[in-house]
Structures are given as C-alpha cells and as structure tokens.
Amino acid sequence: MRIGDLTGSTSPKPRSGLRADLTIEGLDARGRGLGHLKGYTVSVRGGVPGDRLLVGLRKVRHRRKEAEARILDMIQPGVPRKSAPCEHFGLCGGCLWQDVAYEDQLALKSRLVETCLAHVGVEPEFEAPMQAPSPFYYRNKMEFSIGTSDEGEPTIGLHASGRYDHVFDLDACHLQSELSNQIVGLTRDFVRSRGLSSYDLKRHTGLLRFLTVRDGKHSGEVMVALTTSEEPFEAAAAYADALMTTFPEVASVIHSVNGRKAQVATGDVEHVVAGKSSIIDRLGRYRFDISLGSFFQPNTFQAERMFEKVQDYAGLKQDDRVLDLYCGTGGISFYLAEDAGEVLGIESSESAIQDAVRNSAENEVEGCRFMAGPAEELLTQLDGAGESYDVAVTDPPRPGMHPKALAALGNLGPRRIVYVSCNPQALSEDVVRLRRYGYEATSAQVVDMLPQTPHCELVVRLDRD
C-alpha cells in the first residue's frame, strides 16, 4: 500500500499490516515514540520526537484506540542519527538509542521526565542532567539467556526485540566489559564442546538456562554463575577450571539451580564450584561483599555520584535523625551517616539487611542501624510510638511507595524528603500524594544510570511548608 493509505479523510481506520506516514510527538514511559493517527495513539520503538516516519502497523487495539508500529523508513529525523557501534543494534531488545548522540539522549530523558511530572503539576527546579562517566562499558552485571539455535546448539546472548522465544548469539555487548564478552565466548565454546543442552521452555527439559557475570569495577574481581535446571551438571568443575585458568580475574564460580518453570536467573540453590561465594567492590570509600543475589546499582561509578547528590539534597545537620527507606544493603545509609547523628535503614529483605549490618561493621560506619520488614508496617509502628525524624530518604521499587508507607511517612513529618526513583510516573503520583502532608518538590536531577537506553534515575528534594 502507498504511504497515504491512512492519511486521507476517507482512509480506513488503522489495522495491522497497513503502512502510514507518522510524526512522532512525544515519548511513553518506556521511551518509545508516540504519534497519532486517525484518533489512535501509535507507539514506535526507536522513534523520537520530531521524527517523520514511514511505519508498518503491527498490533491494533480498537477499544483502547492504540496501536504499535515498526519503522519501515526514516523520512525526516527529529534528531540526527549515527551508526550504532554494536552489530546487534536493532535486533537486540536492550539498547534503544545507540544511534542517537549522547547529548541528545540526555535531552530526551530530561524531556520524558519533566513532561511526566508537569502532567500532574509537579514542576521542581531541574538541574542539568548528570552525565554518566562513560556511555559504554559501564554495567557491572549482565544476565544472558541461553537458547537453542536452528542447528540444535546452545546460543548464549540476549532476547531479540519483542521475542521472548528467541535468543540470539552474542558476539559482543558494548555495555559490559570486554572481559565479560570473552567469558560469554568461552562459555559458549565449552558447553557446545561438551554437548550440553539448553533448557526448553515448552517441554521443560534440558540443562542450561542463564549465564550471569558480575564485574567489580574498582576491585577487578569477577563472578561467573551458570544457572541450570535440576538435571545433573557433571561438567561444573571442568567449566570452573577453564574459566579460572583463562581469566585470572575470575574470583568466584557459582552453579545456581532453578528447578521451577519460571524463567528467571535466580536459582533456588547455589553451589560455590570454585573460589569465593562473593566478590568485593566499592562505592566511594565503602567496601561491599557482593553475592550472586545482592542488589548493587548496575553502574558503579554513576551510583557513587548519585549517592553524593542524595547526600547534598538531604542537607543534614550533625544531630539529625534520618530514615533511609528501602535501604537495600546500606549504600545510601553509609553516605548519610557521614553527616547525621543517627540513620535508621528499613528494608523488607532479611538477606539485604544482614548484608547491610555486615557491611556497616566491616566499614566501621557509626550511627547506622537497620530493621527488616515492610516499610508500611515499620513506619506505622514508628509513628504510633511517637518517634520523630528530621529527614527521610526513600528509594522504593519501581511501582513506588506503598500507600500506607507514604501515609505513615507523611504523619512522621520530617522537614525534608529525598525521593530516588527509576520510574518518573510512580514518583510523580507519590509526590502529588505527599502534598497532602505539606510537601512540595523544590529541586530535581536526572541521573543517567543506563546510557543507550531510555531508563534513568531521578533524585527529587521535597521540603515541607
């Protein structure tokens, strides 16, 4: 069909398979371009505001007046495009903006965040976005899926965009270290030479499920974990020997067993095949033991700078009592303890709290204590006990704060809240709720934690009237 099929006044309503001339006007929460066609909102992966595109419609939802489309041709770019350095760009479901100059990526992320907050009337003073020290080779952890090629051999890599049933063989990922890429290559050669099978998602048979590589950016230590089904992995010791002989940086080799049907890299049982059960890395001057399941910000160097920004926004006094909600293994708590009289970290994960307590002792951090339990329950207890805090930092999961946790925090009434979020939509909704308790967003900064993708962190300072 010709380009004008869906542009004339008598043209048919959108349906799958038709082509259209579409101008991208904005971005959705996932960074996909948004345009409008015959009353339908059309999302396009890889489109950015100002692009004029020839698109092919894929999924059309008539009741919701929504459609998805793919780019057939770039008629006029809204921002200049460049050649992506990764040969898998376009096929891979990870990076979305490798063909966009880094300064334009920052502008797009800022626009996405500011538009989201302004939509609900939240308009803090935005600082210039915090650029990442390096737009490539920054990730300290990658999880690779293992599939099966047409020839029946294991493939190790990432999922093709929109395809959860297809894993392409990775040659090199430009977000992780070159050493990590070499580990992927060695693992692929090893499992193929041993005739090992990949796990079949439909039949639930086969051995190999995931490969995880953790990379200590400061320490240089590397952890490698192979997640398998419950079938015997008799070659585990030989695999560990091959890794540690070839790569002296590998300090830990883990065999993780996932006996569930759920396709997740976290196993039910972990065996240390060789080396240690954890690796060491640092955030600023603080040392952390990082196990396979530990949460650690994926961009070590940018996390250090973000924690300093949280510290700055908190504006602490020497005798301040501080809450650190959703504190994980204690990273932000340690930075806050440098300036405060007392810091209480709250986290629902028992294992994370155990790590926080251990990390606090090993780093000789004074003034920090930690409590394990849901934030909504513990904050309600603190409020009921008449406790008071001067400043609170909250870094909740992607959906945002639990409504009861937010209400209890509002009742506790600290003079300032610093909100850290990877989801500007959830943050904006929580900021609106916090207005009921007298809080207003005054300052904000976009932190580019994940260059080449639409994802970012946002740090917002809220002051009480």
| Tens-place pLDDT, residues 186-196 | 999 999 999 99
Residue spans of the domains in the chain: they are 3-76, 107-133+299-464, 141-283
Q: Long-range contacts of range 178-181, CB-CB < 8 Å, 24 or more positions apart?
A: 178/137, 179/215, 179/222, 179/247, 179/249, 180/142, 180/213, 180/215, 180/222
Amino acid at 63: R
Residue 6, pLDDT score = 62
Q: Do domains 3-76 and 107-133+299-464 have the same CATH topology?
A: no
Residue 8 has pLDDT above 60, yes or no: no
Provide the phi-psi class of 232: left if phi over 0, else alpha when psi is between -120 and 50, else beta: beta
User: Which member of 86, 327, 368, 422 is catalytic?
Assistant: 422
- For the chain, the C-alpha Rg in angstroms (whole number) is 24
> What average pLDDT does this structure show over 277-301?
93
3-state secondary structure of 194: coil
Provide the CATH topology of domain 107-133+299-464: Rossmann fold (3.40.50)
Whether 218 and 287 have beta carbons less than 8 Å apart is answered as no
243-252 pLDDT, tens digit each? 999 999 999 9
Report the top-level CATH class of 141-283.
mainly beta
Sign of CA dihedral 168, 169, 173, 177: positive
pLDDT of residue 262: 83
pTM (2 decimals)? Answer: 0.91
**Residue 303 contacts residue 449 (beta carbons within 8 Å):** yes
Q: Is 428 helix (H, G, I), strand (E, B) or coil?
A: helix
Query: CA-CA distance, 191 to 210, in Å (whole number)?
Result: 12
- How many CB atoms are closer than 10 A to CB 130? 20
What is the average per-residue pLDDT within 53-71?
A: 95
* 422 flagged as catalytic: yes
Q: Is the pLDDT of residue 324 over 90?
A: yes
Whole-angstrom distance, CA of residue 346 vs CA of residue 324: 6
Superfamily of domain 3-76: Nucleic acid-binding proteins (2.40.50.140)
What is the average pLDDT across 424-435?
97
